Amino acid sequence: MIITTVIIVVIIHVISAVFHERRGFSVNAASRYLIEHAYEKSHNRCAWHIMCAMNAGGQPVPLLRACDYKWYFRDFLDTQFYEVPRENYIPEKGDIVVFPKVANHPYGHIAMWTGSQWVSDFKQKDIIVAKEYNKHDCTFFRPIFIKP
């Protein structure tokens, strides 16, 4: 069962990589989706909102149930996005930040930079949304193919 699921996820990633290369990723559409659908405060749905925003931006992402976001998105983002070093990091519209799981946050956290702020399932005041997170433990990703 696990092997079948892994094979299906790999096939989806390969298909989406080919599709993505042809169409590109619209950071404007993804950002617009996030801003329009953001809550006032967290509803613990950060991954769902980022996956929906990526789909809205033209990047097909399988909508999965809760998992360790750092590992799920790292595997996916490695084919569609590239990792940006933390040193001297300056966010660009469409960048994604992924935090690993920590105490009280068993799946981690993920958010996208909309050009003016970090948004997950809510409009964040800062990149750090819980005291358990540390900016030095996060990973930044930037889209490889961008279209207007």
pLDDT one-digit tens code per residue, 94-109: 999 988 888 888 888 8
92/69 Cα distance (integer angstroms): 21
Return the CATH superfamily for domain 2-147.
endopeptidase domain like (from Nostoc punctiforme) (3.90.1720.10)
pLDDT tens track for 87-140: 999 999 999 998 888 888 888 889 999 999 999 999 999 998 888 887 768 889
Q: What is the pTM of this model?
A: 0.77
Cα 63 from Cα 107, distance rounded (Å): 15
Q: If you search the block for the tokens 């994604």, which residue do you land on?
A: 96
Mean residue pLDDT of the chain comes to 79
The domain ranges of the chain are 2-147
Using CA atoms, how far apart are residues 90 and 38, in angstroms rounded to an integer?
23
- Name 126's Cβ contacts closer than 8 Å, sequence gap at least 6: 118
